[in-house]
Amino acid sequence: MWGCGALLGARAGLRLCRELFLAWDRGWSAAAPYSASTEPSRVRALVYGHHGDPAKVVELKNLELAAVGGSDVHVKMLAAPINPSDINMIQGNYGLLPKLPAVGGNEGVGQVVAVGSSVTGVKPGDWVIPASAGLGTWQTEAVFSEEALISIPRDLPLQSAATLSVNPCTAYRMLMDFEQLQPGDCVIQNASNSGVGQAVIQIAAALGLRTVNVVRDRPDLQKLTDRLKSLGAEHVLTEEELRKHEMKNFFKDMPPPRLALNCVGGKSATELLRHLAPGGTMVTYGGMAKQPVIASVSQLIFKDLKLRGFWLSQWKKDHSPAQFKELIVTLCGLISRGQLTAPACSEVPLQDYQRALEASVQPFVSSKQILTMC
């Protein structure tokens, strides 16, 4: 059934994949606490042996499935997105680099097939996501240690589950950890159409926060604006509009932002700083423009602005696995209540990975590429 996504179209293929997994799951014997299947499995994975252009160094290969040990979990992957951090990791310019050769992908959702005899936290049929980066999710199935996985509710939308462990976690922590924001306070961000940006809009709305969302000008600007506002964005502005003198009057009608979230750098970050309230904080979590953040001396002295950085991998190192699981539970609650949805996604069968990789680095693409494993 490896070609079902290509035959039926990505979306129809993904629905069929889910139906197949649910049908397979209903066949499990409730009496068996664990299973260690001896049937040979054909594992297909996107592997890179050296760093470079993802479209050139990533290859689709057949791998041998490892044996399931006592503390191991055999997982069939369902879907896995392509994030900017995945691209940076393959290029070799990310803060965390796995030993090569490596399977790509830091995020995704899978279903447990079998567990080792000492596994107690998950069981066959459960849905699981990675507990940390570097797991290698761009493969049809794999054997992971139990501690590398977090169980999530199986009634979550598949796209939301597949994109749960990176962008929404980053958005939530930045909104909660740097300023003590109250309902009615304002947050300003650039790259608002990114996965993190869309999560910020929705989580902020759930918390009663107002948002000013900055995007690059583009041919389909109105379509993007309408989508972001449908997620809860109060204002959507282009970077050019943010630089206009009239913006002084704009902030007379709403409180100046106490928190700015920067994923771009360069002039875009400078403009965010210019509109921050005195004593406010700008948190940088990305550098899409590949330009430094420049803050004037007057902003630091007379406005006492604070410049901070955020990296989810470092947050995980500084906090316990239980605290990360608590974060996931909180986000699952928002999803279940309809307050947090997946970013705009394009589903691509694994065998069409070249198309997905190329699309993921194109400018003005507001749709996240999600690899489906059926």
pLDDT at 247: 85
Element (H, E) at 211: strand 210-215
**What digits encode the pLDDT tens for the residues 39-98?**
556 899 999 999 999 999 999 999 999 999 999 999 999 999 999 999 999 999 999 999
240 lies in some domain = yes
Residues 63 and 140 in one domain: yes
Q: Provide mean pLDDT across the span 118-133.
A: 96
Residues 118 and 158 in one domain: yes
Share of the chain above pLDDT 70, in %: 88
Instruction: Cite the DSSP H helix spans in 244-369.
Output: 247-250, 266-275, 297-302, 312-318, 321-336, 353-360
Residues 69 and 141 in one domain: yes
**Total count of domains within the chain:** 2
Most confidently predicted of 132-136, 155-159, 217-221: 155-159
Please report, for the domain that includes residue 259, its CATH number: 3.40.50.720
Residues 190 and 249 in one domain: yes
Determine the structural domain holding residue 297 and report its residue range: 167-314
360 lies in some domain = yes
Per DSSP, the chain holds a count of helices (H) and strands (E) of 15, 16
**What digits encode the pLDDT tens for the residues 14-32?**
454 555 444 444 444 333 3
119 lies in some domain = yes
Residues 74 and 157 in one domain: yes
Residues 179 and 297 in one domain: yes
22 lies in some domain = no
Query: In the beta sheet, which residues pair with residue 128?
Result: 110, 151
Residues 210 and 298 in one domain: yes
Residues 281 and 255 in one domain: yes
129 lies in some domain = yes
3 lies in some domain = no
Element (H, E) at 103: strand 102-103
Residues 72 and 176 in one domain: no
pLDDT at 212: 98
pLDDT at 10: 42
Q: Provide mean pLDDT across the span 335-357.
A: 96
47 lies in some domain = yes
Nearest to 286 by CA among 258, 307, 256, 262: 262
Residues 287 and 364 in one domain: no
282 lies in some domain = yes
- Distance, in Å, from the CA atom of 274 to the CA atom of 120, rounded to the nearest integer, reads 52
Residues annotated catalytic, as ranges: 94
Please report, for the domain that includes residue 77, its CATH number: 3.90.180.10
Domain boundary at 293, 314, 335, which? 314
Domain boundary at 295, 314, 333, which? 314
Neighbours of 82 (CB within 10 A): 27
pLDDT at 34 over 60: no
Mean pLDDT in the chain?
90
Residues 310 and 172 in one domain: yes
Nearest to 258 by CA among 199, 180, 200, 311: 180
Classified as helix, coil or strand, 166 is: coil
Residues 54 and 159 in one domain: yes
